[in-house]
Structure 1
């Protein structure tokens, strides 16, 4: 299933997407997508509701206001996790780190799939990173690698927006990663039974019509199973938590033509089997002008 959270006059409600553009409301089954993912009974009931739905009577998804599909207690992200190109005959694993480089994005960074990201005043080098994000479905503590994927509730897309200038100012990355709205998420969570193999997904990013990133998750250093196992040795992962698995490097032409994100730019992250997440960027100055004119 593809599970979303959408806004209604009475509050946020979970739903499933069917026939590509219709919503099956699941608010009578669970209060949130996280609750659907973390309860076997709720998940079974949601599947039954989808199977029995009369598609012709369902509202269209474009008539709904999509919110972030889950509200995580923790957003844990990886730094370097994709191997780059190496010359023929060179061992591609030679420079692999022993352990993942883990950082956090704070709760204020969460944004919905249709929310514009505001470029903060004074930001000089805002950048994007398209990533496969894992949604935890079961409480996870010191899980083995063999059992780690059993704790996955589903997969979604995260744009790890970063202010490189702030990131370069210190050894810790928090101030470069945690501006308001710097973690657009969605548009939905794909449950594992309908998601492809997480180690065989094509991650692409398109900026203004140009593909700037294109690489398979088969080239990651640390698998989803390993990352969940590794993190759970230190902290308990709770249902709804997000583990974002890192971004591939930009293609050489995109690296050479790097330009910080600016007002009016749009970036689309598309991942095979998971869908697309398009994020628009707007400057803080434009927002301030709009608010003063309102």
Structure 2
């Protein structure tokens, strides 16, 4: 099951993706005799795992929905306004940790414990939206394709073997980063949180669609040139470990977004560096989730 936030005829709505079509949320909830939620965040916060079986049964059994073609809508970030800052992991692939020795923002050690930080996204941008920045602010903008975990229910002190119970689904996030700001400020929040620096989508895929542990090919191309290529099975700290460690004394909330880190091949890992420039097309791909495409515009 895939969830989507979209704009159609100047109205924002949420729905379910079936092949190349969208089923508007109200069609399904009318069948269930319930009032519809207005956002995916409300959907996550108000319904449990048992409810998704009812939705799936309804979608598969009913044939006369008011389908919309995916090509007829503007896809937005699935959760345009996250409940709180997006939680991120730094240096969670070995080769990426090693390539960071070429930069001034981190050393080259492979971490023994997760490195957590956050980035703001108000809003996150969607598929085919533009990443905008000014050279007056930053001259070293980089890309980072990441698998993002969407938390499905509140939890604290989660056991690794129970981690999947607390997951709603997965999406793609491009953790766009200003490397010169990261180096200048000696921390990562500002350089990760400029406007438009959080492309997300195109969908959220429900956890039932992705066998656990999640082992998915992950790639990023710039103007058709493959830069990043790995698999999420190569995470240093896997998803059960992340959720268990992060939740020790810290309540994870339904709708929280956790970015699990990026593989090697970022622009700053090349010599000479390959930072983003005006007109670049970034394609972030994760197996079974889809492709998130954005264009760079220097303003």
Structure 2: tracts of 5 or more residues without a match: 30-35, 97-108
Q: Which stretch shows the higher mean deviation, 57-66 or 106-115?
A: 106-115
Q: CA separation in 2, counterparts of 1:127 and 1:278?
A: 15
Q: 1:194 to 1:116 in 2, by over 3 A?
A: same
**Are the aligned partners of 2:268 and 2:275 in contact in 1 as well (CA < 8 Å)?**
no
Which residue pairs with 2:100 in the alignment? none
Q: Deviations over 1:4-46 (max 9, x none)?
A: 0112457432211102x10011134432223333413642343
Which residue pairs with 1:18 in the alignment? 18
Which residue pairs with 1:204 in the alignment? 219
Q: CA separation in 1, counterparts of 2:255 and 2:282?
A: 25
Aligned-pair CA distance for 1:113: 2.1
Aligned-pair CA distance for 1:118: 0.5
**Are the aligned partners of 1:133 and 1:243 in contact in 2 as well (CA < 8 Å)?**
yes
Which residue pairs with 1:33 in the alignment? 40
Aligned-pair CA distance for 1:252: 10
Q: CA separation in 2, counterparts of 1:244 and 1:58?
A: 32
Q: CA separation in 2, counterparts of 1:259 and 1:10?
A: 37
**Are the aligned partners of 1:269 and 1:278 in contact in 2 as well (CA < 8 Å)?**
yes
Which residue pairs with 1:54 in the alignment? 63
TM-score by length of 2: 0.84
Q: CA separation in 1, counterparts of 2:252 and 2:5?
A: 21
Q: Deviations over 1:46-75 (max 9, x none)?
A: 313321343796210111121111232230
2:291 maps to 1:268:
no
Task: Map 1:114-133 onto structure 2 (within 5 A).
Answer: 114-122=128-136, 123-133=138-148
Structure 1: tracts of 5 or more residues without a match: 86-94, 285-294
Which residue pairs with 1:101 in the alignment? 115
**Are the aligned partners of 1:23 and 1:61 in contact in 2 as well (CA < 8 Å)?**
yes
Q: 1:242 to 1:183 in 2, by over 3 A?
A: same
Q: 1:10 to 1:211 in 2, by over 3 A?
A: closer
What SS does the aligned partner of 1:108 have?
A: coil
Task: Map 1:167-182 onto structure 2 (within 5 A).
Answer: 167-182=182-197
The two structures, once aligned, show a CA RMSD in angstroms of 2.4
Which residue pairs with 2:103 in the alignment? none
Which residue pairs with 1:280 in the alignment? 295
TM-score by length of 1: 0.86
Q: CA separation in 1, counterparts of 2:170 and 2:288?
A: 10
Aligned-pair CA distance for 1:2: 0.7
Q: Deviations over 1:62-119 (max 9, x none)?
A: 111211112322300011000229xxxxxxxxx6422111110113362122321102
Q: CA separation in 2, counterparts of 1:156 and 1:196?
A: 15
Q: CA separation in 2, counterparts of 1:209 and 1:163?
A: 22
Q: CA separation in 2, counterparts of 1:79 and 1:254?
A: 15
Q: Which stretch shows the higher mean deviation, 195-204 or 258-267?
A: 195-204
2:118 maps to 1:111:
no
Which residue pairs with 1:66 in the alignment? 75
Aligned-pair CA distance for 1:232: 1.2
Q: CA separation in 2, counterparts of 1:252 and 1:184?
A: 17
Q: How many residues are matched?
A: 275
Q: 1:109 to 1:64 in 2, by over 3 A?
A: closer
2:246 maps to 1:231:
yes
Q: 1:14 to 1:251 in 2, by over 3 A?
A: closer
